[in-house]
Amino acid sequence: MGLGIGAGGNYASRNLIINNTTNGQFYLDSYTLINASLFYNHARYRFAITADNIGNKAYYTGGSGTFTPGMLRRFAGSIAVRF
């Protein structure tokens, strides 16, 4: 029972996306994301708030010639019940 906090992160190194003689080489930059959570446990319940990419870092993910923008800062809440 009680209040708790959590923290974590994700790191991705520089990533080679394209490597051919026609187009040359194209890399995605490395990035680091910081995440955190705050939760409260009471009896059978857990109330939580999470924050991902706290620094609102713009980044891209991908491979094999494709890439997509990564998710910007995000907040979420949850309630869990133990049975």
Task: Give residue 64's pLDDT band: very low, low, confident or very high (50, 70, 90).
Answer: confident
For residues 23-31, average pLDDT: 92
Q: What is the dihedral of CA 62, 74, 52, 78, to 10 degrees?
A: -120
Q: Please tell me the predicted confidence (pLDDT) of residue 22.
A: 85
- Residue 53 buriedness (CB in 10 A; 0-12 / 13-18 / 19+): buried
Give the Cα separation of 67 and 41 in Å (integer): 39
For residues 8-24, average pLDDT: 91
